[in-house]
């Protein structure tokens, strides 16, 4: 499980969560037993103001042994700040749709890949692992269908940069199990399943079904966001991520993720609710009230 709540979960929230609240959130998620937490992003504070204090959050957290603390970086300047903040790994974020790439980072796919190659090279030289997201892999809000052949080509190019894992991302929650099976059949024919992660949004209520479909192909890493928070500021229609609590409830029912404390994750999420000013999307959270 790759917890993205402190970054992807909060980046689209209108209410700015105080630094102390973010630190408490990350500490609580680590204490709950989550193995990897994306703490924030070293991006433009003008474009994503919620992430302006990522360095301060990383400086203030209690780092639990065995938990990996990551941050998203768009360029070499962001990487430099992340390394100074002592992250365990960084994430780069490419897209499978040129229009989305331009809306998201103001660069074409090719322009972004040129920059990410430099970021990955510098990160690895600094001893920092690199993860990659491939956004809009199941469909784009601007271009519609995205060919699987393009997803495979871009995934291969990201692995050529030296990333250890590519998170194939359903940025707008459009994927369904039939499509997931088709895409994963082709992807796992080209790459090892253990090198792939899945990043689902629950816009249409299919995220858990999509996880089950991907598990049939040997994929074992899934992104999720505590409380079901999330959404992309540059992807119309992208609602919350797959909720960590909902994913945990299903996985633990199947005999997985036994070391993660589901109610501790739920408590961490609920502590944010008064700050963000609206109910959490997570179905497990609602059922536990």
**Calpha distance 41→81 (Å, rounded):** 10
CA distances from 177 to 136, 197, 208, 285 (A): 16, 16, 9, 24
Active site residues: 232
pLDDT tens for 213-258 read 999 999 999 999 999 998 655 555 556 899 999 999 999 999 999 9
Return the percent helix, strand and coil in the chain, to nearest 5. Answer: 45, 15, 35
Domain tally, the chain: 1
Terminal CA-CA length for the chain: 24
Q: What is the CATH number of the domain that holds 271?
A: 3.20.20.70
**Residue 17 tokens, joined:** 């969560």
- pTM to 2 decimal places: 0.95
Indicate the DSSP class of residue 226: G
Q: What is the mean pLDDT of residues 145-156?
A: 96
pLDDT tens for 230-239 read 865 555 555 6
**Residue 155 tokens, joined:** 């995934």
For residue 197, what are the β-bridge partners? 167, 221
pLDDT tens for 48-94 read 999 999 999 999 999 999 999 999 999 999 999 999 999 999 999 99
Structural domain of 256: 2-288
Residue 20 has pLDDT above 70, yes or no: yes
**Calpha distance 159→280 (Å, rounded):** 35
């Amino acid at each position: 499980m790759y917890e993205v709540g402190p970054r992807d979960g909060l980046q689209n929230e209108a209410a700015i969560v105080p630094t102390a609240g973010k630190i408490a959130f990350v500490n609580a998620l680590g204490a709950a037993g989550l193995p990897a937490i994306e703490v924030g992003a070293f991006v433009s504070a003008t474009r994503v103001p919620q992430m302006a204090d990522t360095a301060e959050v990383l400086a203030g957290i209690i780092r639990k042994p065995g938990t990996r603390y990551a941050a998203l970086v768009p360029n070499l300047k962001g990487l430099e700040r992340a390394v100074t903040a002592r992250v365990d790994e960084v994430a780069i974020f490419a897209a499978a749709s040129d229009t989305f790439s331009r809306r998201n980072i103001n660069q074409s796919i090719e322009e972004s890949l040129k920059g990410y190659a430099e970021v990955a090279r510098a990160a690895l030289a600094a001893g920092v692992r690199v993860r990659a997201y491939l956004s809009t892999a199941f469909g784009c809000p601007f271009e519609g269908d995205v060919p699987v052949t393009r997803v495979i080509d871009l995934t291969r190019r990201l692995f050529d940069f030296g990333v250890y894992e590519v998170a194939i991302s359903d940025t707008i929650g459009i994927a369904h199990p039939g499509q997931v099976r088709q895409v994963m059949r082709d992807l796992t024919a080209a790459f090892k399943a253990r090198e792939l992660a899945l990043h689902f949004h629950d816009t249409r209520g299919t995220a858990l079904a999509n996880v089950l479909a991907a598990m049939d192909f040997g994929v074992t890493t899934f992104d999720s966001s505590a409380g079901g928070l999330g959404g992309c500021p540059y992807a119309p229609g992208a609602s919350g991520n797959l909720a960590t609590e909902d994913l945990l409830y299903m996985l633990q029912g199947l005999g997985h993720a036994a070391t993660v404390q589901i109610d501790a994750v739920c408590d961490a999420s609920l502590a944010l609710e008064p700050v963000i000013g609206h109910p959490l999307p997570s179905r497990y959270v609602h059922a536990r009230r």
